[in-house]
């Protein structure tokens, strides 16, 4: 599977920005910033994203 962006992973999981932010425990504004600058995503948050979006972490980030 080719690598996809965090935003694409969220969209593929059928989650809105607000729904995903609530599940991840961050504000939707912060999640929006992180989706646009993936270098700022911490390892812990990346693991949560992988679990919630149901996609291996290795496939999420470009």
Helix (H), strand (E) at residue 4: none
Residue range 1-47, pLDDT digits in tens: 578 899 999 999 999 999 999 999 999 999 999 999 989 999 999 99
Q: Tokens in use for 53? A: 């979006």
What span, in angstroms and rounded, lies between the C-alpha atoms of 40 and 60?
Answer: 14
- C-beta separation of 6 from 41 below 8 A: yes
Average pLDDT over residues 37-59: 91
- The answer to whether residue 61 scores a pLDDT higher than 80 is no
- Please list the alpha-helical segments (H only) found in the chain: 6-12, 17-24, 28-36, 43-53, 57-60
């Amino acid at each position: 599977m080719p690598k996809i962006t965090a935003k694409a992973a969220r969209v593929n999981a059928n989650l809105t920005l607000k729904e995903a932010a609530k599940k991840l425990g961050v504000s939707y504004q912060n999640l929006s910033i992180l989706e646009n600058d993936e270098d700022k995503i911490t390892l812990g948050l990346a693991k949560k994203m992988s679990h919630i979006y149901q996609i291996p972490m290795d496939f999420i980030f470009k």
